[in-house]
Structure 1
Amino acid sequence: MRYFIDLAYDGSLFHGWQIQPNAISVQENLEKALRVAFQKKINVVGAGRTDAGVHAKQLIAHFDVEAKINAPQLKFKLNTLLPKEIAINAIYQVQDETHARFDAVAREYKYYVTTQKNPFVEAYSYYVKKEIDLDLMNEAAKILLTHRDFKCFSKSKTDVYTYNCDIVFAEWIKQEDLLVFTIKADRFLRNMVRAIVGTLIEVGLHKLSIEDFENVIVSRNRSNAGKSVDAKGLFLTKVEYPKTVLI
């Protein structure tokens, strides 16, 4: 039987989602907790990889067991076993062939920028000291929806079969002293959101024009885009699946 785990975590102390040698990961912690709960090794497969320092309000992972489980009981036990930086939101059964990564139809990220020095938000946002043109950044963000190839925003050394992504939503809003960027697509490349945000900030600071921004995309050259902003301001906020995966 296959189950989805819906979890959230503060990525500050972790070297990303995926298990790797000589580094603490979210996946490693989750598999350790499952091993204690089931008294045997349980492998989990995540909907995607978040980089070191990136947070998640919702990441979905799947695991297989032979018998039906008591989901609320397992959720309570895992939350007891896991460190305070990781929380299980829900556990539910899905169709046996459902895959947490390959069956996801959309992923949503949010990035937080603060325009005021604030010790209470500094750990989870990127501080920009100068005034930012929010309207201009939103004008540039709309251009993302008209393109599919985003090699210019991808980490240079990455092994992918395509740089195409279908971005369906990209918008900045102001929440008091915070600027919040929400972006939704079928898939994302490594480092893509942070590179997009860094480039849009250059637009907002009038260092790049709208035309320059589109030329960056067309160039397919990472060196033409802006710098990648800090991981601490990035949150994976939602992973979506077809309703048919549920039992």
Structure 2
Amino acid sequence: MRYFFEIAYNGTNYHGWQIQPEAISVQGVLEQTLSTFFRTDIKIIGAGRTDTGVHAKQIFAHTDIDAISNIEETKFKLNSFLPKDISVESIRQVNDTAHARFDATEREYQYFIALRKDPFQQELAYQIYQTPNVDLMNEAAKILLGYSDFQCFSRSNTDVKTYLCDITKAVWEIDQKGLRFTITANRFLRNMVRAIVGTLLDVGFGKTSLAELHEIIASKDRKNAGASAPAHGLYLTKVTYPNTIFIKN
């Protein structure tokens, strides 16, 4: 039977989601834990990849295993096996053809910026010491909604077949804790969100104009966009699927 495991993790101690040789990854730890728990070799397929140091409040992975008789008990026991910075949030049975990556219809990322020194956010938010023009950054964020090709924000030399993404939301918010950027799309390119954040910060600090942002996107050249914001401020916060893939218990 196929199950979706909903996972959350603090990515500080991991070299991203995907298994890498001689490096600790979230996928590697999960596969090892699941294999030990279920006493069989288990491989999982995730909804996507996060880079080294990036966090996830919600990501899904699927695998095929024997029927789980008590899901809540299984979830509790798995969490006792897993390290403290990875947790299983839910386990749901899905159709045998359901795919954690290809069936996802929407993904949401959030980026957090602290505007003052906060010892409790050192590894969980990007700290800056001046407040950028948030209204101007929101004007820049709206520009993203008018484009579909985001090669200028993609890591170079990737193996993707297309740079097309459908961004449906991009907005900055500010409160007493700092800045939060929320962006939603059907898919994201590698390093895309961090490159966008870095470029929009350039707009907020007056280094890049709105007209220049149009030119950057049209250029399709990563060298023209801003520097990538640090990984530790980025969170994958939501992955959406059609309800039809889930089996009601």
Confirm or deny a common fold (TM above 0.5).
yes
Distance in 2 of aligned mates of 1:67 and 1:120: 41
After superposition, the Cα gap between the structure-2 partners of 1:177 and 1:76, relative to the gap in structure 1 and judged at 3 Å, is closer
Cα deviations across residues 84-134 of structure 1 (Å, max 9, x unaligned)? 010110001011100000000000000001121222222211122223000
Pairing 1:130–2:117 present: no
Partner of 2:45: 45
Letter in 1 for 2:146: T
Partner of 2:218: 218
SS at match of 1:124: coil
Letter in 2 for 1:245: I
Partner of 1:237: 237
Letter in 1 for 2:65: V
Q: Which moved further from structure 2: 226-235 or 124-133?
A: 124-133
Cα deviations across residues 14-72 of structure 1 (Å, max 9, x unaligned)? 00001110000001111111111111111110000000000000010001013344211
Distance in 1 of aligned mates of 2:62 and 2:186: 19
| Unpaired stretches in structure 1, ≥5 consecutive residues | none
SS at match of 2:53: coil
Cα deviations across residues 194-222 of structure 1 (Å, max 9, x unaligned)? 00000000000011111111111111000
Q: Which moved further from structure 2: 176-185 or 63-72?
A: 63-72
Distance in 2 of aligned mates of 1:69 and 1:199: 49
Letter in 1 for 2:73: Q
Distance in 2 of aligned mates of 1:122 and 1:42: 35
Distance in 2 of aligned mates of 1:214 and 1:71: 49
Name the Cα RMSD after superposition: 0.9
Letter in 1 for 2:139: E
Aligned-pair CA distance for 1:175: 2.1
Partner of 2:176: 176
Pairing 1:5–2:1 present: no
Provide the TM-score with structure 2 as the length reference.
0.97
Pairing 1:84–2:84 present: yes
Q: Which moved further from structure 2: 219-228 or 174-183?
A: 174-183
Distance in 2 of aligned mates of 1:59 and 1:7: 5
Distance in 2 of aligned mates of 1:93 and 1:66: 11
Distance in 2 of aligned mates of 1:42 and 1:177: 41
Q: Which moved further from structure 2: 69-78 or 151-160?
A: 69-78
Distance in 2 of aligned mates of 1:173 and 1:136: 12
Partner of 2:36: 36
Pairing 1:95–2:95 present: yes
Distance in 2 of aligned mates of 1:84 and 1:23: 18
SS at match of 2:101: coil
Distance in 1 of aligned mates of 2:29 and 2:189: 25
